[in-house]
Amino acid sequence: KFHSRTPGRRAEEISEMRGDEARVLLGFPPYSRPTPSQVKAAYKRMVWESHPDCFPIHEKCHAECKFKLISEAYTCLQSGAREGSAAGINTRVVRTGVSRARGGRRNHALVGVPFLFIILGTVALGGFNAARAYRKQEEANPSHNPFLP
């Protein structure tokens, strides 16, 4: 149904949603030309039918996936209506099989990078300040013991 640009990727599939696929998802015939008001009405109806909060917990993941597809279809048709023709418009869609709220793939490394810089900076500056304080203390109170530095 969707034309994948990156074959072999199952966890995250980058696809293009064509206008006819978007119309079918919103309940229109594939080659029809719905008006923006018809698209909006169909979107609202489909959202009420497939909103994840209306489903039990064990069906929520599937409902979230369907809800995201409906939202992408609406965006595709709305952008096509603005540009004059919804037939030739392709919208880039990123779909994942598992929602991020349910343990899907995340970028923890990118989130942790700023904290890593903060920690390394704190340790480096703390070490610098400790060495400076030690030298200052040593100058103020020189040791007469030959075995101590």
* CA distance linking residue 60 with residue 103, whole number of Å: 13
Look at residue 129 and tell me whether its pLDDT is greater than 70.
Answer: yes
Quick one: average pLDDT of 46-75? 88
Report the mean per-residue pLDDT for the chain: 74
β-sheet bridge partners, residue 18: 90
What's the CATH architecture for 3-102? Orthogonal Bundle (1.10)
pLDDT at position 83:
54
Task: Give the angle 13-65-104 at the CA atoms, nearest 5°.
Answer: 65
Quick one: average pLDDT of 75-91? 60
- The H or E element containing residue 91 is strand 90-96
- The H or E element containing residue 136 is helix 108-140
Q: Which residue has the higher pLDDT, 130 or 99?
A: 130
Q: pLDDT band for position 87 (50/70/90)?
A: very low
pLDDT at position 22:
86
**pTM to 2 decimals?**
0.46
* CA distance linking residue 35 with residue 22, whole number of Å: 14
Lowest mean pLDDT among 20-24, 40-44, 106-110: 106-110
124 CB-near residues (< 8 Å, 6+ apart): none
Lowest mean pLDDT among 17-26, 38-47, 89-98: 89-98
Quick one: average pLDDT of 55-80? 87
